Amino acid sequence: MTRVATFREVLAHAGDGVRRILGPVGDEHTLRRAAAVAWSVIAEPGDGIAGAVRAVYGDASAYDRLVAGDEVSAAATETGLDPRALAAARDRWRPRAAAELLAEPLRRAAACGARVLVPGEEAWPAALDDLGPHAPACLWVRGDPAALHPVGIALVGARAATSYGEHVAGELAAGIAQAGTPVVSGAAYGIDGAAHRAVLAVGGVTVAFLAGGCDRLYPAGNGTMLERIVTTGAVVGEVPCGAAPTKWRFLARNRLIAAVTGATVVVEAGARSGSLNTAGHAAALGRPLGAVPGPVTSAASVGTHRLLREYDARCVTSAADALELIGHGEPAPLPLGGFTDDRVRVRDALSRRVYRETGAVAAASGLAPAEVEAVLGMLLLDGAVEHGPAGWRLAAPR
């Protein structure tokens, strides 16, 4: 077997990067932080076996026993883990356990101004501890770590969002932010991006969790948005700086979004949307779950309708509904009004006798087609309008 460097050797090889990012060399707190960073390099996000052995031995000792050393049998007895599963995990960790494993991530962190947070520190978001052995070893943060501490709301949804979904996401995010509550999402195209941008537009606080390193602003098309988030909120990753966003890491990242927030709201989701994965994590953690209804004819809302029908999600049609999930009161009024005034305008543009297409309703109401679609969806839910092949009309009085 090829010899693996001990943790002390790894620490020595990291050199000046340890002092710049983690603290004074030789300090016990620095040692603990460095060991957490090492595990974020060698273990994939959500590795429950890594979390179990770290919980028993501590990060540095677990590294020396099971990565540099070969104490599988003893560790299996002491942790209650299956010896074969533990041996397989050790084989996964060792290919990344080079002496220089800390050097490059710390160099990249220094270059982009990232900070490292580890469990137990004052800046650590304790809500992540609810993930148990699947909690991250550390977080890499660009921006203000304090943005992680007020109880926030996760707004997530499909990348292939409709204009209706993006409009509703923006309305919700702006209202939540103006109530002083952070909005957390995943920086993807579609619903995530619409939510982040709306918060930035009203001067609120938003946090973006990335699937790769926080120095790799992904997707590139949202790079400018993410740079703005760094200056007003936080961009966060659990994998080290330089790590690539992979499909598996996107799914693993979703558990962090669900855990760090007080509630998750799915704005729009198709039948196989990844945002349903976030909803599943929220439900498993006992976090309140909300979903926004959409037009019954829209494939982009199949997932949210299923959450409402089968998974006890709360129906969310406004920022006030979302804030209720975390026990907060009414949000501050939006600068341009919410759906209430728009509902009146759309109703005035409709007839009880004839169906009208969305474009005709938009022209009569003075609203954009996307705004009209959003309001019609809410009115349909209330039973105030009817939808047919020829368009929309007011429902008959009850």
Comparing C-alpha atoms, which of 158, 157, 153, 163 is closest to residue 295?
Answer: 163
Q: For residue 219, give the amino acid letter.
A: P
- DSSP class per residue in 321-367: HHHHTTT--PPPPPTT--HHHHHHHHHHT--SSS-B-HHHHHHHHT-
Helix count (H) and strand count (E) of the chain? Answer: 18, 11
- Ordered by start, the domain boundaries in the chain are 7-112, 143-324, 339-394
Which is higher by pLDDT, 238 or 336? 238
Mean pLDDT, to the nearest integer, of 44-69?
Answer: 95
Asked: is 339-394 a CATH 1.20.120.1230 domain? The reply is no
The Cα 319–Cα 355 span in angstroms is: 30
pLDDT at 331: 43
First to last CA, the chain: 78
What is the pTM assigned to this prediction?
A: 0.83
For 189, the token pair is 């195209």
> By mean pLDDT, which of 13-17, 355-359, 373-377 is the weakest?
13-17
pLDDT at 344: 84
Residue 397 has pLDDT above 80, yes or no: no
pLDDT digits (tens, 9 = 90+) for 196-210: 999 999 999 999 999
Under the banding of pLDDT at 50, 70 and 90, the label for residue 12 is: confident
pLDDT at 29: 87
The Cα 183–Cα 331 span in angstroms is: 13
The Cα 161–Cα 167 span in angstroms is: 10
Which positions ≥6 away from 397 have C-beta within 8 Å? none
3: phi > 0 → left, psi -120 to 50 → alpha, else beta; which?
A: beta
| The residue to which tokens 């703005």 are assigned | 228
**Mean pLDDT for all residues in the chain:** 91
The Cα 275–Cα 170 span in angstroms is: 17
Q: For residue 180, give the amino acid letter.
A: G
CA–CA–CA angle 100, 101, 104 (5° rounding)? 80
Question: 95: cis peptide before it, omega within 30°?
Answer: no
The CA-atom distances, in angstroms, between 376 and each of 161, 184, 390, 395 are 17, 27, 14, 12
Top CATH class of 143-324 equals: alpha beta
> By mean pLDDT, which of 7-21, 29-43, 146-160, 292-306 is the weakest?
7-21
The CA-atom distances, in angstroms, between 334 and each of 128, 231, 233, 361, 372 are 31, 23, 21, 23, 18
pLDDT digits (tens, 9 = 90+) for 292-342: 999 988 999 999 999 999 988 999 999 999 999 999 865 444 443 444 478
Chain centroid to CA 340? 29
Cβ count within 10 A of residue 332: 13
274 SS3 class: coil
> By mean pLDDT, which of 12-16, 51-55, 219-223, 232-236 is the weakest?
12-16
The Cα 349–Cα 188 span in angstroms is: 35
Cβ–Cβ under 8 Å, residues 185 and 257: yes
Return the CA Rg of the chain: 24
pLDDT digits (tens, 9 = 90+) for 67-120: 999 889 999 999 999 999 999 999 999 999 988 999 999 999 999 999 999 999
pLDDT at 340: 47
pLDDT at 329: 66
Cβ–Cβ under 8 Å, residues 240 and 115: no
Q: Which DSSP category does 130 fall into?
A: G
pLDDT exceeding 70 applies to what percent of the chain? 96
Task: Give kind and range of the element (H or E) at residue 165.
Answer: helix 163-178
Comparing C-alpha atoms, which of 54, 51, 60, 52 is closest to residue 10?
Answer: 60
What is the SS3 string spanning 197-212? HHHHHCCCCEEEECCC
Cβ–Cβ under 8 Å, residues 13 and 25: no
Residue 17 has pLDDT above 90, yes or no: no
Residue 128 has pLDDT above 80, yes or no: yes
Which positions ≥6 away from 161 have C-beta within 8 Å? 169, 189, 190, 191, 194, 267, 268, 300
Cβ count within 10 A of residue 74: 13
Residue 4 has pLDDT above 90, yes or no: no
pLDDT exceeding 90 applies to what percent of the chain? 73
For 324, the token pair is 């209720």
